[in-house]
Amino acid sequence: MKMEEIYDVIIVGGALAGSRTAGLIAKNGRKVLLIEEHENIGVPCKCTGLVSWRTPEILKNLPKKLIVNKLDTGKFNAPDGTSFVLKSKKVAYVLDRTGLDKFLFDQAIKSGVEVRTEHFEDFQYVDDNVEVRTNKGSHKTKILIGADGANSIVAEKANLEMPKNIFVGLQTTAAGNFQQHAELWFGRNTAPNFFAWVVPENNELARIGVSTPSSPKPYYERFLEARLGHNGLKPDVAGIIRYGIMKDTVNDRVMLVGDAACQVKPFSGGGITYGLIAAQICADAVEKAFEENRFDYDFFKKHYDTEWKNKLLPGIRKGLLLRTVLYNLPDFHVNLLFKGIKLFGNNILSNFDFDLLSG
């Protein structure tokens, strides 16, 4: 009689955080199954792909072909047209975002990760295992990791409450005449409670988008008209970002990573760097769990939830404060603030770093 296969770890979600976590765990010799509902990895794209200098430091084997552009200045635009340019201490990178997901996915497979194209539905505890149910059957595992994004089903089924704070983004890639700096545009009529952006791939092509708490389409069309002189381009990137601080990102035999754990910069919505950092912490916690044969809530709370929060929460709290202050200001006050920065910016923001704005 054939024994039922039991995985060490099942990860739901094959995008950046899921693939990276899977690959790191598999490199430790664990049997890993990655469940991803999309056949084409990285599609649909849900991210601008602007990352700070930290990302290539973490991914030391990142192929150079995935770096589309390098930027070291950002132009900030107030509602009344007041603008200023800041130079970053370190360069930021514009990445082929779909290519990055595919690269990490391929790396996971090379590390021994098994992949199935299935849709996660639910799980239940069975003896000392987790039984994972998908649209194509069921699988057993010692540990379940949810890397299934801002609307994580794993989080829902594990009774891990997610913040209600969300914003929705739309982006297109457009031809035009672009200077080599990232542009951020603020204002109630431009992008309430967030900003619009222009991130150049080169002098003639840029990623242009808008994000708002809800219904970004009219703002997207208005911004294209204002920036390009037309608004006929359909978005090729759309995504939901959930931000805030979750009380728990673990339960018995369950962990969340990436957007599913709200490991996201609240000011910019970027989650690439945070997701990569958390993936390593998660993989380390998994290895320690098998070494000590501990898979309970208390263990994962100590070795994963607390660990990643110690590393990332200072930045998340700073982002929450910044967005609360800036995004709640009336346009009149934003205009005054930008005028002040324009006059005294060299002293006020001499330590500007793209890490604040990027993924």
Most confident of 82-91, 244-253, 341-350: 244-253
Q: Which of 264, 16, 323, 322 is closest to 148 using CA atoms?
A: 16
Cα gap 340→359, rounded to integer Å: 27
Find the range with the poorest average confidence among 56-65, 96-105, 337-346: 337-346
What angle do the packed helices 97-110 and 16-27 form, to 10 degrees?
20
Domain boundaries, the chain: 6-356
Q: What is the pLDDT of residue 1?
A: 36
**Is 80 exceeded by the pLDDT of residue 62?**
yes
Cα gap 54→37, rounded to integer Å: 29
CB 19 within 8 A of CB 33: no
Tokens in use for 137? 């059957």
pLDDT class of 358 with cuts at 50, 70, 90: low
**Is 90 exceeded by the pLDDT of residue 196?**
yes
Q: What is the pLDDT of residue 142?
A: 99
Tens-place pLDDT, residues 258-278: 999 999 999 999 999 999 999
Q: What is the pLDDT of residue 182?
A: 94
The dihedral sign for the CA sequence 131, 133, 138, 144 = negative
Tokens in use for 306? 């607390």
Q: What is the pLDDT of residue 355?
A: 64
φ, ψ of residue 114 in degrees (nearest 5): -85, 140
Tens-place pLDDT, residues 295-341: 999 999 999 999 999 999 999 999 999 998 889 899 999 999 999 88
If one compares 47 and 320, the residue with the highest pLDDT of the two is 320
Q: Which of 310, 306, 318, 309 is closest to 355 using CA atoms?
A: 318
CB 278 within 8 A of CB 257: yes
Q: What percent of the chain has pLDDT over 90?
A: 81
**Is 70 exceeded by the pLDDT of residue 352?**
no
Q: What is the pLDDT of residue 351?
A: 60
What's the rounded mean pLDDT across residues 6-17? Answer: 98
- Show Cβ contacts of residue 273 under 8 Å, excluding neighbours closer than 6 positions: 51, 52, 54, 55, 58, 355, 358, 359
Residues across the chain: 359
pLDDT class of 2 with cuts at 50, 70, 90: very low
Cα gap 160→168, rounded to integer Å: 22
Q: What is the pLDDT of residue 46?
A: 76
| 3 state DSSP class of 43 | coil
**What is 6-356's CATH topology?**
FAD/NAD(P)-binding domain (3.50.50)
pTM for the model: 0.95
What's the rounded mean pLDDT across residues 85-106? Answer: 92
Cα gap 206→197, rounded to integer Å: 10
DSSP assignment of 65-118 = GGEEEEEEEEEEE-TTS-EEEEEEEEEEEEE-HHHHHHHHHHHHHHTT-EEE--
Cα gap 270→260, rounded to integer Å: 13
Tens-place pLDDT, residues 134-154: 999 999 999 999 999 999 999
